[in-house]
Structure 1
Amino acid sequence: MSNSKYQTYEPYGVEPQSDLRGDLHTAETLAYGVYAAPDTYDDTYRPAYEAPEPLEPTLPRQAGRAERRRKGRYTERPDSAMRRLLPQALVVAFLAGGTTAFVAEDKAVELSVDGRPRTLHTFADDVTELLAQEGVDVGAHDVVAPAPGTELTSGDEVAVHYGRPVRLTLDGQRREVWTTAHTVDGALKQLGVRAEGAYLSISRSQPIGRAGLELDVRTERSVTVMADGRARTVRTNAATVGEVIGESGITLRDEDTTSVPQDSFPRDGQTVTVLRITGTKEVREEPIPFEVQRTDDLSLFKGTEVVEQAGQAGLRRVTYALRTVNGVKQKPRKTDDEVVRRPRKQIVKVGTKPLPTSVGGADGLNWNGLATCESGGRPNAVDPSGTYGGLYQFDTRTWQGLGGSGRPQDAPAAEQTFRAKKLYVRRGASPWPHCGTRLHG
C-alpha cells in the first residue's frame, strides 16, 4: 500500500521546530489548531495495521522504492496545494466575517431609569426590546423618551420617567393628577400651578415617592370686601370668606353677616358685602276667625235663618322680628305663634218650611204703603234705639210671639209681611199708630 495520501501532522499545541509565521502553512495551522510539518522531514508515518520494517541495511532496490515514494509525493501538480488550502481559507474568512457582524450588532446606549443613568451594551433593535431585556416595566402614566418602538443605534440615550399620583386639592377643587416630577415644586411647575404667594400643605422640597402624596394648594386671589360704605381689596390665600373678612380688618358684631356664607371658598375677583344688622321684636295679638255651621230646620219658613249659637273669634299671639340691614328696614319675619284662645263656631238654623200664600182678612190691605212709612221699605232696617227692626218695625218679643225666630230684621221680606198680617188680624192697625192709616189708603 502507498503512503502518499497520508500527510504528517503534529498534535495540537506542539511547538513547531522552525519559524513559519510568514508561511501559508502557518495560517492553515492557526486556523485549524494543528501544525503542518515542513516538507524537508522524512515521511515516517506508519498505519497501525502495517508491520514495521526490520531494521536491516536497506537494499539498493528498497532504497529506490523510498526515493520514488518521496518524489511522487512532492512532485504533485501545482493546483493540488491550492485545493487543499481553499477550505481552510474559507473557514478563516467565515470566522473573520462573523466577528465583524457580531461587533456591528452590539450597541452602546445610555439608559436612565427615573433619574439613574447607566451605560450598557445591547443587541436590542428598538426601545421596547431594550426595556424588556433590562426588565423595565412601564405603565400608562410613565414617560419613555424616545417613544417605545423607536429604532436604536449606538450612542442613543433612553430615559424612563415613572408617573406618580398626586391627590391635589386646588382652590377647593379635588382631583387626582399624575406627574413625573420628583418633588412638590417640580410637580407644581409641571402641572402649571401658580405657586407664588400660594398656601401649600407640605414643603415645596418634599420628595414625591412612587406611591404619590396628598397636596392642598390655595393660590393667591384678589377679593373685595364692601363694609360700612367702603371697599377693601385684599390679596389672600385664605380658605374661607370668614378668614378674608378678618384679614381685611373688619369686625362682625351681634347679628352682622355677609352676602355669601362665611364658610364658603373665596374666588378670585369676588366681592363680599358685610351686612350690618340691627333688630328688635314685636308681639301682636291677632284674631282667629270662627267657623259657621248651618243646619236645616223644618219649623222655620224658607228664607229664615236663626242663629242658635253665636260664634266667637279666637286669639293668637304672634312674635315678629324687625330687622334693619345697612339702615334699610326689612319685612317683619314671624318667629313665634301662640294660640291664646280657640275660636267658637257659630251654629245657624236655616228654615225649610214653605211660606203661606195668604192670611184671611189681611190680604187686600196696602202692606207696601205701611212698609214704606215704617222703614222706608228696607227689610233690615233698625230704629236708632235698636229695639225695633224690619219692614214693619217689630220688637223682638212681638216677633217671636208671632212664631218668628231670631230678630225680625234678619228674616226675609215675605216672612215679615206674613207676620205683620197675623198681627193685624189679632190687633188691627194699633201696632202702627202713625202709619197704620196707610193700610187703607
Structure 2
Amino acid sequence: MSSNHRSKTRAAYGPSPAQGGGRRRRARAAERPDSVVRRLLPQALVVAFLAGGTTAFVAEDRAIRLTVDGRPRVLHTFADDVHALLAEEGVRVGEHDLVAPAPDTPLAGGDAIAVRHGRPVRLTLDGRRYEVWTTAHTVDGALRELGVRAEGAYLSASRSQRIGRAGLALDVRTERQFTVMADGRARTIRTNAATVGEAVREAGVTLRGQDVLSVPADSFPRDGQTVTVLRVSGSRQVREEQIPFRVERTYDPTLARGTEVVARPGRPGLRRTTYLLRTVNGVRQRPRREGAEVVRRPREQVVRVGTKALPRSPEGADGLNWHGLAMCESGGDPHAVDASGTYGGLYQFDTHTWHALGGSGRPQDAPESEQTYRAKKLYLRRGESPWPHCGERLHG
C-alpha cells in the first residue's frame, strides 16, 4: 500500500491510538483546575449534610430504663420529660399510682424511671373496715406500706400472695393482750381471736349451763380488755296471785237510802306468775319476773244501792222484816255473842254502837224489844249497811 493511501486512511479514521491518548491527556490536564471542582462540590455538600443530620439525630436519641410494676426494659426515646415518655409508651397513671422521678422531670440519657400502679385493698383490721390503696405487689409489702404489724396476726391471705391491679379483700386480726377473770383467778393471754367467746376458750375457761360473760360473746376482743365470767345457777318459781274483782253499783229506788244489797257476789281471778331465781358467783339475786298466765278471770260484783228516803221515826221501819234479820244475824237468840266477844244480841251490836244509840250495858243483856227499837234507830241512820250480809233480809 502506498504512503499516500496510509495517510488518507489515518486521516479518515482519526489519529492513531498513541496520538489519541496523548491528545486526551493534554485535554484533561488543560481542564482540571475548574471543571473538577465544579463536578465534586455538589457531592461534598450532600455528604456533609448527611453527616451533620446523623450527628443531630444521634444527639437527640436517649437510652432510658423504664420499670413498670417491677418489670424493667430499656428503650430509646426523643421525649423531653417523664410525662412525655409515659404517654409515648402508653403507660397511664392515676391519682393512686407512684411515678419516680416526677412526671415533669426532664430526661437525660441513662435515666431510670419507675412506675408502680396503685391497687385497692378492702381491709378489715381488728373488726373495722377500711378502703385503702397500695402500690405494693404482695400482701406482705402492703402490710409494711400500711404500717400494719403482722407478727402473730391472723391473715386471710398468705403474706406472699400477689396483689393484682383489681386489688383484693384482706382480713387482719393483730395479736392482742386479753384477760379473763373466772373463778377468782385472772388468766392473761395473747390472741388474734375473732370474738370474745373464742378468746375465752383460748384462755382455757369453759362456760357451763347458764354462765354468761360481762360483754357479748360475739363482740370483738380489744387489746388490754378484761372480761369477767359470771357463774350462774338458777331455778324457776311459780306463784299464784289473786286478781281483784271490780264492783259495779246500781241505784235501786225500792231500797232505803244507805242500804246496799249484793245482787251478785264478786269472785277474784287467779294469776300464775313465774319468777327466775338466780345466783351469780355465789350471790343470790333479786327474783326476776319472767312471765305470767291468767288461770281464771275475776268476776265483777254487782251491788244495789238504795235511794228510797228513810222513815223519820223508828215506827216508820215497823214494816221491815226484823225477825228475818235477827234470824240471819244471831239465829233469833237475844243473848247470842259472837266467838270474838265483840258483837252481841239479836242484831249483833258492838258495844260502842249500842251506847251511841242510847243503850246501856251490853246489848245481849237488854230486852228483845229494846234491841229491836235500837236496831230500828240504827237503820234510820245508816240503812242496811251495818248488816252487810243479812241486811237484805229486812226486805225479804
Cα distance between partner residues in 1 of 2:198 and 2:106 = 58
Distance 1:137 1:298, change over 3 A: same
Look up the match of 2:222: 267
Give the CA deviation at 1:132.
1.6
Larger Rg: 1
Distance 1:284 1:399, change over 3 A: farther
1:253 to 208, 216, 219: 208
Q: Give secondary structure in 2 for the equivalent of 1:129.
A: helix
Spell out the pairing of 1:195-344 with structure 2 (5 A cutoff).
195-344=150-299
Give the counterpart letter for 1:344 in structure 2: R
Distance 1:351 1:153, change over 3 A: farther
Give the CA deviation at 1:213.
2.6
Deviations 1:14-41 (A, max 9, x none): xxxxxxxxxxxxxxxxxxxxxxxxxxxx
Q: Give secondary structure in 2 for the equivalent of 1:408.
A: coil
Distance 1:104 1:298, change over 3 A: farther
Give the CA deviation at 1:92.
6.0
Spell out the pairing of 1:420-439 with structure 2 (5 A cutoff).
none
Give the counterpart letter for 2:228 in structure 1: T
Look up the match of 1:431: none
Give the counterpart letter for 2:225 in structure 1: Q
Cα distance between partner residues in 1 of 2:164 and 2:314 = 119
Residues 322 and 331 of structure 1 are in contact (CA less than 8 Å); yes or no, is this contact kept in structure 2? yes
Look up the match of 2:324: none
Residues 179 and 224 of structure 2 are in contact (CA less than 8 Å); yes or no, is this contact kept in structure 1? yes
Give the counterpart letter for 1:98 in structure 2: G
The worse-fitting range, judged by mean Cα deviation, of 105-114 and 303-312 is 303-312
1:150 correspondence with 2:111: no
Cα distance between partner residues in 1 of 2:376 and 2:85 = 123
Give the CA deviation at 1:317.
2.0
1:346 to 287, 294, 301: 301
1:388 correspondence with 2:349: yes
Give the CA deviation at 1:387.
2.1
Deviations 1:222-259 (A, max 9, x none): 01111112211111111111221112122222111111
Look up the match of 2:128: 173
1:408 correspondence with 2:386: yes
Residues 400 and 406 of structure 1 are in contact (CA less than 8 Å); yes or no, is this contact kept in structure 2? no
Give the counterpart letter for 2:294 in structure 1: V
Distance 1:160 1:360, change over 3 A: closer
Give the CA deviation at 1:384.
2.4
Look up the match of 1:126: 81
Distance 1:400 1:237, change over 3 A: farther
Residues 399 and 408 of structure 1 are in contact (CA less than 8 Å); yes or no, is this contact kept in structure 2? no
Residues 257 and 383 of structure 2 are in contact (CA less than 8 Å); yes or no, is this contact kept in structure 1? no
Q: How many residues in Structure 1 have an aligned counterpart in Structure 2?
A: 325
Give the counterpart letter for 1:330 in structure 2: Q
Give the CA deviation at 1:267.
0.8
RMSD of equivalent CA atoms: 3.9
- Identity rate of aligned residues, in percent? 64
Deviations 1:101-130 (A, max 9, x none): 323321111100111111111011222221
Distance 1:279 1:75, change over 3 A: closer
Distance 1:387 1:169, change over 3 A: same
What TM-score does the superposition give when structure 1 sets the normalisation length? 0.63
Give the CA deviation at 1:313.
1.8
Residues 97 and 115 of structure 2 are in contact (CA less than 8 Å); yes or no, is this contact kept in structure 1? yes
Give the CA deviation at 1:354.
5.1
Look up the match of 1:19: none
Give the CA deviation at 1:301.
4.8
Cα distance between partner residues in 1 of 2:258 and 2:59 = 126
The answer to which structure has the higher helix fraction is 2
Distance 1:336 1:402, change over 3 A: closer
Residues 306 and 348 of structure 1 are in contact (CA less than 8 Å); yes or no, is this contact kept in structure 2? yes
Residues 259 and 305 of structure 2 are in contact (CA less than 8 Å); yes or no, is this contact kept in structure 1? yes
Residues 288 and 315 of structure 1 are in contact (CA less than 8 Å); yes or no, is this contact kept in structure 2? yes
Cα distance between partner residues in 2 of 1:383 and 1:270 = 72
Give the CA deviation at 1:270.
0.7
Look up the match of 2:63: 108
Give the CA deviation at 1:142.
2.2
Residues 312 and 346 of structure 1 are in contact (CA less than 8 Å); yes or no, is this contact kept in structure 2? yes
Cα distance between partner residues in 1 of 2:181 and 2:314 = 91
Residues 249 and 303 of structure 2 are in contact (CA less than 8 Å); yes or no, is this contact kept in structure 1? yes
Distance 1:400 1:113, change over 3 A: farther
Deviations 1:270-328 (A, max 9, x none): 11000011212222221111111122223345554443333222222222111011122
Give the CA deviation at 1:56.
9.3
Distance 1:347 1:100, change over 3 A: same
Cα distance between partner residues in 2 of 1:219 and 1:327 = 36
Cα distance between partner residues in 1 of 2:266 and 2:254 = 23
Give the counterpart letter for 2:386 in structure 1: P
Residues 108 and 119 of structure 1 are in contact (CA less than 8 Å); yes or no, is this contact kept in structure 2? yes
